[in-house]
Structure 1
C-alpha cells in the first residue's frame, strides 16, 4: 500500500504577491511530505496537533522542510516513465546517495530503497543498477494502481491548494509544467490548470 501525505507550511501572505517575476521565484512551495510504501517511509511530517507547542512545530518546519513542488514533479515524471518502461529510479531530494527504484511486476511495483553514489547527475533514470552495486537495500511490494491513483490525487490536491492560495501561481512556468505532467494521465483531467 502506498500513501502520500504533505502539508504546505509557507505563510499564505508570502505566496500572494502580484508581481509575476516574484511569483516565478516563489513557485517552489515548501512544507512536509511523507511517502509510505507499506512499512518503509521517506520524508517527515508532523501534524499541528502532534506538536507540543507552536514554537516546536515552527522549528520542525524549518529544520525538516522539503520542496513539495520538486517532489510532485519528480514523482509524476517517475509515474509517466513507468507507463512505458519496466524500471525507473530516482534520487531522493538533497541526498547524495539515497535512491528509490520501481520495477513493474504484473500489477505490482517492486520498490527498492538503496544507497548508491551516482555522479551522472540524473535525478530520474531508466538505467538499472546491479544488485552488487547497492548497499542498505530494502524492498517493498505495492499495487501499481494504488500508487498511480494516490500520486495523481495528491498532486491534484496540491495544485488545488496552491490555486486557492494564489491562482496566479498556476501561471508560473513551474506550475504550468506540473499541470502538463498531470494532464498526461487521460483518466484524470484537471479543471484548474
Structure 2
C-alpha cells in the first residue's frame, strides 16, 4: 500500500522493483488524480481515506454529527470507486474509525459492497466479521438472483419478474451476486 498517492510517478520506482501497488488516494490531489493513478500498470487497487483527505483541504472532520460522511468525503469516495472500476482495478473502501460502532460499520460496508467496492479496510480485528458478513450476499439476494437467472432462460430480451423490469444490467447484477461473473464482464 502506498499512502498518500498523488501521482503516477510515485509508483514508478515500486514498479521497477517488481511491486504491485494498492494506491491510497487520501489527499485532495490524490483524489483528483485518481483516474490517472488507477491506470498505472503496477496499481492493482485504489483505496480512499477520509481523514487525510479532510486534513489536506483544511477540514476538521469527515463526518457529520449523525455519523454519516460529509458531501466532500462522499464525492471523494465515489470518484475513487469510479476511477478504479473504469481502469479495471479493485476499489477498497475507507476504514471505519469508530471501532466499537459495528452497526455503523455494517451499514457502510453493506453500502460499499452494493456500490461495487471489492473490500472495506479494517483497523481492528473485531471489525473483520462485520465486513465479511456485509460483503456476503444474503439468502434473499441469492434466491432472487437464482430465480431471475432461471427466468431469463425462458424469457427472451427484456421481461418482467415479480413486478420489476429485468434487462441485461439487472441480469449482470444477478450474476455478480451468484459469483458467476466479475463486475466488468
TM-score by length of 2: 0.27
Structure with a larger share of its residues in strand:
1
Structure with a larger share of its residues in helix:
2
TM-score by length of 1: 0.26
For CA contacts below 8 A with separation 6 or more, give which structure has more relative contact order.
Answer: 1
